[in-house]
Amino acid sequence: MISIKDLHFSYKKKKVFTGLSLELNSGHIYGLLGKNGTGKSTLLRNMAGMLFPDRGSVNVNGHIPCKREPAFLNDVFMVAEEFHLPNVPISFLIKYLAPFYPRFNQEQFSRYVREFEIPEDSTLQNMSYGQKKKVLISFGLATNTSLLLLDEPTNGLDIMSKSQFRKVMAGALDDQKCIVISTHQVKDLENLIDRITIIDEGTILFDQDIERISKKLSFRISYDQAEVKDSFYHEGSLKGSVIVTENMEYEESKVDLELLYKAIVTNGHKVQAVFNS
pLDDT for position 266: 92
pLDDT tens track for 242-258 = 999 999 887 878 899 99
Q: How confident is the model at residue 13 (pLDDT cuts 50, 70, 90)?
A: confident
108 shares a domain with 58: yes
Q: How far apart are CA 57 and CA 54, in angstroms?
A: 9
pLDDT tens track for 115-138 = 999 988 888 888 888 999 999 999
Q: Shortest CA distance to 16 belongs to which of 47, 48, 53, 50?
A: 53
- State mean pLDDT over 65-92: 93
- Among the three residues 201, 233, 263, which one is the final residue of a domain in this structure? 201
218 shares a domain with 87: no
**Structural domain span for residue 43:** 2-201
129 shares a domain with 239: no
138 shares a domain with 33: yes
- Among the three residues 149, 169, 201, which one is the final residue of a domain in this structure? 201
- Among the three residues 177, 201, 225, which one is the final residue of a domain in this structure? 201
13 shares a domain with 101: yes
Q: Is it the case that residue 144 has pLDDT exceeding 80?
A: yes
Q: What is the mean pLDDT of the chain?
A: 92
114 shares a domain with 218: no
Low-confidence winner among 63-67, 107-111, 198-202 (lowest mean pLDDT): 198-202
Contact of 54 with 9, CB cutoff 8 Å: yes
pLDDT tens track for 223-234 = 999 999 999 999
- State mean pLDDT over 159-187: 89
Q: What share of the chain is helix, strand, coil (3-state, %, to 5)?
A: 40, 30, 30
Task: Residue 7: count other Cβ atoms within 10 Å of its Cβ.
Answer: 23
Q: Is it the case that residue 238 has pLDDT exceeding 80?
A: no
183 shares a domain with 122: yes
One-letter amino acid for residue 212 of the chain: R
Read off the pTM. Answer: 0.93
**Structural domains counted in the chain:** 2
DSSP state of 126: G
